[in-house]
Structure 1
Amino acid sequence: MDTGNLIRKHALKNAVEHDGKASPGSIVGRVIGEAPELKAKVSELMPEINNIVRQVNSLSLEEQKKELLAIDSGALKKEKKKKEMPELRNAVMGKVVTRMPPEPSKYLHIGHALSFLINYLYAKKYEGKCILRFDDTNPEKGSQEYVDSGLDDINNYLEIKPDRILFASDDVGKMIEKANELVEKGKAYVCACPKENMSDLREKGKACECREKSVESSLSEWKGMQDGMFEEGERTLRLKIDMESRNYVMRDPVIFRIVKKTHFRQKDKYKAWPMYDFESALEDSWCGITHILRSNEFGRMREELQDYIKDLFGLPKQTVIQYGRFNIRGASTQGREIRERIEKGELLGWDDPRLVTLKALKRRGIFKETFFEMVKHVGLSKTPTNIDWFVVQRFNRKLADKKVRRLIGVAEPVRVRIAGAPERAVSLKFHPDQDFGSREIKTGEGFILDKKDYDKMEEGKLYRLMDCLNFRKEKGKLVFDSVEHERFKQGGESIMHWLPDDGKQTVKVKMMMPDASLVEMIAEKAVGLVKAGEVVQFERFGFVRKDSGNSFWYSHK
């Protein structure tokens, strides 16, 4: 293989490995590794390497792959071991039961999706069951709006099919009965301390006077809490454990408080509501959960408390496995902050393209399979996983490359005339590798190019309109050169996407960009074949999702 072809082979390989962009520095070592005798001529090779890299980078990723396979048929054949989720501790085939326990207090985001899928996929791996349980025992935060949104995300976007759907608030009556048992046995007491005083004493490890109340007195006040005799904050029900425990959580924690706000589901049925640890400990046992898979931000301190509560009632414990938390970067996931910004008009809604809510990700064209692949990749790693838009798009692009149609859209249109260009009927495939069919575009001398491409043209150099023709810039004018791609390979500068300058073959489309700005583009008429909700690729622009009519949302490069 001569030097030029050797450089081109490695330039193509490097480009394919890095989303279509080869790096001259990375290629030098590969070339010398295969042809050591060239080491003494590195300085002479660099101009040729730079020129070939420039040519290769002007090709589309599909064109690079096609040419690379022509040179080396085995270049893209990599033996990839299928990524599997690690085995679960104490898992028995057919017996595993996991849970997805969202609090219906906000719209679900990408972190929720990954957590749900970890639990769901493990249940399926062991032919078990996965329960969706809304932990809705905080009337101040829960709402039917969040329940409906969550069910839509889980069922219709992620397409998770829970084996059961439950609401923890439906069991508050049973929880009150269990709390009553504790008061009767002297294992819980009603506390009248203000929140600040209670926190201060717990911090110091000192008990308050309420701890010495008689069982009868606590039972009476406990009934008063349920009947609405006290105002919010005037009384709480606390477990009597150990005020000197090294684990702060175990220092007589509150297990019931008074909340008089109307609950979206139970209405005004209850005035005393369970705290999360009491509710969760009981529900996990009542639901028959065998494995609790959750982020390690939950901590082991609260796990001790929940185990203690289960022991009080002789309830079974679960295998608890904690994985590294998901750190969402570059976007807020705080429900209150997002809602305030929506109300102020700073965000378009819960599906604003700047957010990572599942509503926003779906509208931007992120496939549900992307989350499945991310979960398989992360597994149960103990280390935190940083998630930003680049991570999401990397996984999504791998899926999109194989399954979506290619179309042409121009963001900054410049109308040009290529003198001498013949009238042709150009057949363009909707996908270079998949059998998605093709469409025909008629061309003459008039074309629409992107301003970025137009501004880079230099006098005397050869350029190519993708899958169409080659042309030169001569004395400030564009002049037809040839049709053959081989001619361009011999010294062409770059390849650009294009449209015919023909209103009958093009349409205007509006593109919602990641910063929520609207951009008007010109696209080929074939966009009319795209269905609402379908993701396509606008060549050399990016992947986009059709929203409605001629409106699209930008996904990513």
Structure 2
Amino acid sequence: MEAKLAFAKESPPLSIISAAKIAGVSLTIDPSLASGAAPTLHLSSGDFIHGINTILRYIARVASVSNFYGQDAIQASHVDQWLEYAPVILSGSVFEPACSFLDGYLASRTFLVSYSLTIADVAVWSNIAGTGQRWESLRRSKKYQNLVRWFNSISLEYASTLDEVISAYVGKRGIGKSPAPSLKEKVHDLKENTSGPEVDLPGAKVGEVCVRFAPEPSGYLHIGHAKAGLLNKYFAERYKGRLIVRFDDTNPSKESNEFVENVLKDIETLGIKYDVVTYTSDYFPKLMEMAENLIKEGKAYVDDTPKEQMRKERMDGVESKCRNNTVQENLALWREMVNGTERGMQCCVRGKLDMQDPNKSLRDPVYYRCNTDPHHRVGSKYKVYPTYDFACPFVDAFEGVTHALRSSEYHDRNAQYYRILQDMGLRRVEIYEFSRLNMVYTLLSKRKLLWFVQNKKVDDWTDPRFPTVQGIVRRGLKIEALIQFILEQGASKNLNLMEWDKLWTINKKIIDPVCARHTAVLTDQRVLLTLTNGPKEPFIKILPRHKKYEGAGKKATTFTNRIWLEYADASVISTGQEVTLMDWGNAIIKEIKTENGIITQLIGELHLEGSVKSTKLKLTWLPDIEDLVSLSLVEFDYLINKKKLEEDEDFIDNLNPCTRRETSALGDPNMRNLKQGEIIQLERKTYYRCDVPFIRPSKPIVLFAIPDGRQQSAAS
């Protein structure tokens, strides 16, 4: 749909222009209206729509973006409320109070309405960005962290679209940019194009780019796959192109429907929107036909050389004895392979490329091999399956992929990819390389991760010690942190070994402003403090779960004359010392009872008129009541004890002997209400994610410790 937007030159309607670009509505800009006139949208039908919010509602209704006006009438009403509110942000003295309100509102939300982007987000974002330097000053002050997180996430999601609008109508000094560089800024070796914008992909044209994210369904997605997926998402959006999710399911021995389902779940978790899901197995008939054609053309042959001997001959550049078989001999053996006969099982199909090429990937690679294991989608229909090296270029070309993003570990096989396309007579697909994401003390090989699962070294693929998307989320990582971390790396080709601490530091900045605070003491390391002038009868106060964030809710705290302290705290207290009991006041320790050098009890009295500023010890405590809940605090360590394994090192020789430690604790009664997945901070301890919520008194709540980027592990 095309339309003309007329407005006064001095007051461009950023929200309309931004929304139209995101919604796929083509606008001709006409800044010719008189000063103070409201914008008007002239449609090709001759109709016109007058006023900012009326135009925004129209755009939302015709948008190509799903649920841009909400999913139902109630959400649409909420969107309308935000559209009415958005202009308030621009009005002088109201701007900062509006930011404060938005910050609180967004504390536990990713978007303003529901769980996806609506035109309400675009309108509010545009009005904030339109204040220019005023917003930039507030953003840099880190005063409104939730608002900044929301603002930056939209900036990154629609970087090219919004940057273009802001640069054109506000100024070129990046109003919409994240404090962390956007992926556009990080892309390696950007090329200049004098006739248009910067081109990140070779030969890329807006509206014509097609990329694909092609995981093998032989495991769950891990952090390395996440980088590949997010880069494909970025380029598809940058060039207004297509993104195909393709399952490279060519090895039935390793693949399963469980992996397919969980990969799709992980893709959704990462927020990767795609156009279609395909499978390499969809093309098995065409791939077999192509292999047979190459045999007939003398570009491939069937080889029965034993695997180890074949590997050695390829390394030494020695031609196989089968290389010069006749086409008829090759076709006969090919039929044996297709039928899965005993003779056929001894053979494979190899491309006839160049056995003397210095690049060993060109030394007659294997195209097809036999496998009688049933396939998770097609059962036992086939006895032969293509290799990744053969199937990938064929399916890329057939599906219309213009740019194949591959990590630089495949660099030596790029020449093979292009040569196979050439022999097949298919169009060229441009390869774009980026560096593989390597993490310290971490294995990213699915074969090695499977070993841990099969040998019960971990619970399953979602184990918090695993680098899988589900594993790190279960440990307490927010997806926003993972996305920010990966986009900061950009599409650089430089190999790097990344520290987990950086990722967990980003995560802490996201969870700390909003997660509730609770109190716990270790079950076997606690000491009773009796307050001689404490309340004779217990009483309850309602306190905030987070002193600086109202959205965290309230908690009920019981005050009694008998309270539990951590033994570690009790051990550093001396008789006569004044201490502060957090959320209560001061107390003076009058007596310390010991038995065999072990502190058994403390006697003290409240001194609530005392100054909390004058005490050195600020102590967490729990009341001695029956309602305390049992906790299991779980800490994790790396699965291997070496920062980086060399190629000749066996990971089994470098296993960390202790990777999980559980500690029993008692927690305040409010923790009965924790939900699975909820993140909290235990005062003066660390952050935790609730893995198993309260079920019954005899079963402890299980809390997984979340690294904060500062803790030293046993491995390091």
* 1:176 corresponds to 2:176: no
* 1:432 corresponds to 2:547: yes
Match of 2:631 in 1: 509
The aligned runs of 1:330-479 (5 Å cut-off) are 330-387=441-498, 389-411=500-522, 412-421=525-534, 425-436=540-551, 437-476=553-592, 477-479=602-604
Distance verdict in 2 for CA 1:127–1:454, change over 3 Å? farther
Check whether the contact 1:421–1:479 (CA below 8 A) recurs between aligned residues: no
Distance verdict in 2 for CA 1:342–1:464, change over 3 Å? same
> Unaligned 5+ residue runs, structure 1?
1-72
Q: CA deviation at 1:74?
A: 12
One-letter identity of the residue aligned with 1:192: D
Inter-partner Cα distance in structure 2 for 1:407 and 1:324: 42
SS of the residue corresponding to residue 555 of structure 1 reads strand
Identity %: 30
Match of 2:438 in 1: 327
Match of 1:248 in 2: 360
> Unaligned 5+ residue runs, structure 2?
1-137, 144-176, 188-199, 593-601, 637-658, 695-700, 709-716
Q: CA deviation at 1:215?
A: 2.0
Match of 2:304 in 1: 192
Inter-partner Cα distance in structure 2 for 1:321 and 1:415: 64
Match of 1:537 in 2: 681
Match of 1:98 in 2: 211
Distance verdict in 2 for CA 1:296–1:554, change over 3 Å? same
C-alpha offsets along residues 359-385 of structure 1, whole Å, 9 cap, x if unaligned?
322322222222111111111233334
Q: CA deviation at 1:339?
A: 4.3
Inter-partner Cα distance in structure 1 for 2:139 and 2:375: 63
Q: Which of 234, 254, 272 pairs up with 1:160?
A: 272
Q: CA deviation at 1:344?
A: 4.4
Check whether the contact 2:590–2:605 (CA below 8 A) recurs between aligned residues: no
Match of 2:598 in 1: none
Inter-partner Cα distance in structure 2 for 1:338 and 1:127: 36
* 1:270 corresponds to 2:382: yes
Deviates more, 1:413-422 or 1:331-340: 331-340
Match of 1:128 in 2: 241
* 1:549 corresponds to 2:664: no
Inter-partner Cα distance in structure 2 for 1:306 and 1:339: 28
Check whether the contact 1:363–1:553 (CA below 8 A) recurs between aligned residues: no
C-alpha offsets along residues 471-524 of structure 1, whole Å, 9 cap, x if unaligned?
233443553464468x222x32132222222224x3223333324343322111
Check whether the contact 2:577–2:589 (CA below 8 A) recurs between aligned residues: yes
Q: CA deviation at 1:329?
A: 2.9
Distance verdict in 2 for CA 1:319–1:420, change over 3 Å? farther
C-alpha offsets along residues 69-125 of structure 1, whole Å, 9 cap, x if unaligned?
xxxx99955997342002522443333322221111223322222322222233234
Distance verdict in 2 for CA 1:498–1:75, change over 3 Å? farther
Distance verdict in 2 for CA 1:302–1:468, change over 3 Å? same
C-alpha offsets along residues 405-427 of structure 1, whole Å, 9 cap, x if unaligned?
22222234332123434576544
One-letter identity of the residue aligned with 1:246: P
C-alpha offsets along residues 142-188 of structure 1, whole Å, 9 cap, x if unaligned?
22222223223223x33433321111112111111111221221111
* 1:258 corresponds to 2:382: no
Q: Which of 183, 189, 193 pairs up with 1:85?
A: 183
C-alpha offsets along residues 413-457 of structure 1, whole Å, 9 cap, x if unaligned?
332123434576544322232222323323132222222222222
Check whether the contact 1:123–1:129 (CA below 8 A) recurs between aligned residues: yes
Match of 1:496 in 2: 619
Match of 1:14 in 2: none
The aligned runs of 1:220-239 (5 Å cut-off) are 220-231=332-343, 234-239=346-351
Distance verdict in 2 for CA 1:368–1:99, change over 3 Å? same
* 1:141 corresponds to 2:265: no
Check whether the contact 1:188–1:239 (CA below 8 A) recurs between aligned residues: yes
Check whether the contact 1:139–1:263 (CA below 8 A) recurs between aligned residues: yes
C-alpha offsets along residues 33-56 of structure 1, whole Å, 9 cap, x if unaligned?
xxxxxxxxxxxxxxxxxxxxxxxx
Inter-partner Cα distance in structure 2 for 1:498 and 1:103: 51
Q: CA deviation at 1:214?
A: 1.9
One-letter identity of the residue aligned with 1:142: E
Inter-partner Cα distance in structure 2 for 1:302 and 1:315: 18
Q: Which of 524, 543, 557 pairs up with 2:668?
A: 524
Match of 2:53 in 1: none
Distance verdict in 2 for CA 1:538–1:218, change over 3 Å? same
Calculate the TM-score normalised by the size of structure 2.
0.62
Tell me the number of residue pairs that the alignment of Structure 1 and Structure 2 aligns.
480
RMSD of aligned C-alpha atoms?
A: 2.8
Higher relative contact order (CA 8 A, sep 6+): 1
One-letter identity of the residue aligned with 2:281: S
Inter-partner Cα distance in structure 2 for 1:74 and 1:200: 60
* 1:311 corresponds to 2:436: no
